[in-house]
Amino acid sequence: MDILTTYSVLLIGLAAFVGFLMAWGIGANDVANAMGTSVGSKALTLKQAVIIAMVFEFAGAYLAGGEVTSTIRKGIIDTAYFIDIPHYLVLGMIASLLAAGIWLAIASYFGWPVSTTHSIIGAIVGFTAVGVSVDAVAWAKVGGIVGSWIITPMISGVIAYLIYMSAKKIIFDADTPILKAKTFVPIYMCLAGFVMSLVTIKKGLKHVGLELSTVAGYSLAVGIAVAVGLIGFVLIRRIKVDLNASEDEQHASIERIFAVLMVLTACCMAFAHGSNDVANAIGPLAAVVSVVGSGGAIDAKATLDWWILPLGGVGIVAGLALFGHRVIKTIGTKITHLTPSKGFAAELAAATTVVVASGTGLPISTTQTLVGAVIGVGMARGIAALNLKTFKTIAVSWVVTLPTGAALSIVFFFILKFIFGV
């Protein structure tokens, strides 16, 4: 306990540094969840995607990152075991942030899209199980995370496949695709407006103190969806139709419409991601600041100091600017060939899965959700359309994320214990 008062400034400074490193890793790796399909389908250039993602990720992290955050992400450990040893929680959180940050930097360098949530959870589980007590870990929740490696990509993959195949059958395979597009694209816009509104409400606005009731949230989403659909209907009706244009030219015109839709959904996903996943960095950091500031008292919630959210937001943008392009390329170009309509189907499927998971409590990784969706639209052209070598590499990186985070955090935890003499 003495180290909390003796080294308070050092501990908070160290936690801030590794918290920034973790946020950097989130920006470097997870931003592809929002922008990978836009770049892969050529709806946006890589530079445009990075700039747009910077704006919306930072806005989500800073404006809607939350005044209050859970100190222990996802309730994965029981803080009762740390009541008499609060300095272990402080050193463990610092070790976890360092471990997860390093793993994300390595994964991002190689272009592996891994889960930032699973990285920090694996790290927290590691130091707790080995350094404190195996019983302090909520193993049932860990089991749920392992199960999500299969469940969430499958759900989003099936939804993406169905969305794309419906557009293919109804619009692209029609005798006059552009006429069908004028009729049915507003319906897809309405659906996108509904799902993206729910994502923003559930994953963004609730952090800024605007948490709506279920009825109010769905009512607002329906209202936005109808408005988006009507606007789309009016705008698309104004498009001049050349029925003498070749089928390829009509398809190109339709793809341009889907490209605009996909950019809009990507912006919503970036905002929601910034608001939600910044907690992977600032949650453990807030825990350290809270415990050190209170002299060892452990609270389930911690009010954020003014500097923590900006630190997380800047860290996300910094990681995105330096390494973000590597994972964007993997998701956008190395799994399967993407067109704007396929990219839109993948984004919408991923967002739908996020909404379903939020409502059911299903443990979810946005990274694995989007990868599953991209594979789903790739399957529309058959297994040969997928780069199975890339998928195998990604799958292996998912599996090793938890144990790697755990192993690194255990090492760093005992190094910190040695350095601080506890």
Nearest residue to 319 via CA among 62, 128, 102? 102
Cα separations in angstroms, 213 against 68, 202, 216, 217, 270? 19, 10, 5, 6, 23
SS3 of residue 307 by DSSP: coil
Between CA 25 and CA 326 the distance in angstroms is: 12
What phi, psi does 305 have (nearest 5°)? Answer: -65, 155
Q: How far is CA 342 from CA 247, 254, 324, 332, 376, in A?
A: 18, 12, 22, 11, 9
Q: Taking Cα atoms as reference points, which of 80, 96, 70 lies closest to residue 133?
A: 80
pLDDT confidence of residue 67: 45
User: At a CB cut-off of 8 Å and minimum separation 6, what does 63 contact?
Assistant: 208, 275
Closest CA to 86 of 22, 3, 160, 14: 3
Contact 99, 126 (CB under 8 A): yes
The pLDDT score that the predictor gives to residue 74 is: 57
Rounded Cα–Cα distance for residues 211 and 310 (Å): 22
Report DSSP letters for 320-346, one per residue: HHHHHHHHHHIIIIISS---HHHHHHH
Distance (Å, whole) CA 81 – CA 133: 8
Q: Which two tokens stand for residue 346?
A: 């993948």
Q: Is 210 helix (H, G, I), strand (E, B) or coil?
A: coil
Residues 133, 80: contact at Cβ < 8 Å? no
pLDDT at 341: 93
What is the pLDDT at residue 362?
66
Do 93 and 136 meet the contact criterion of CB atoms below 8 Å apart? no
- Residue from 162, 332, 171 nearest 262 by CA: 332
Phi/psi at 301 (5° precision): -120, 155
How much is the pLDDT for 25?
94
Q: What integer pLDDT is reported at residue 176 of this predicted model? A: 85
Distance CA 95, CA 99 (A): 6
Task: Give one DSSP letter per residue of 91-136, joined into a string.
Answer: HHHHHHHHHHHHHHHHHHHTT----HHHHHHHHHHHHHHHHT-GGG
Which residues are bridge partners to 303 per DSSP?
Answer: 68
Residuewise pLDDT in 10s, the chain (422 residues): 578 888 999 999 999 999 999 999 999 998 777 788 888 888 888 888 888 888 888 888 877 665 445 545 557 888 889 988 999 999 999 999 999 999 999 999 999 999 888 899 999 999 999 999 999 998 988 887 777 778 889 999 999 999 999 999 999 998 888 889 888 999 999 999 998 888 777 665 655 556 677 788 889 989 999 999 999 888 888 777 777 788 888 888 899 889 888 888 888 888 877 877 788 888 889 889 988 988 888 776 666 788 888 898 899 989 988 888 899 989 988 999 999 999 999 999 988 888 887 677 666 788 889 999 999 999 988 888 899 999 899 999 998 999 999 999 999 999 999 999 88
Helix (H, G, I), strand (E, B) or coil at 301: strand
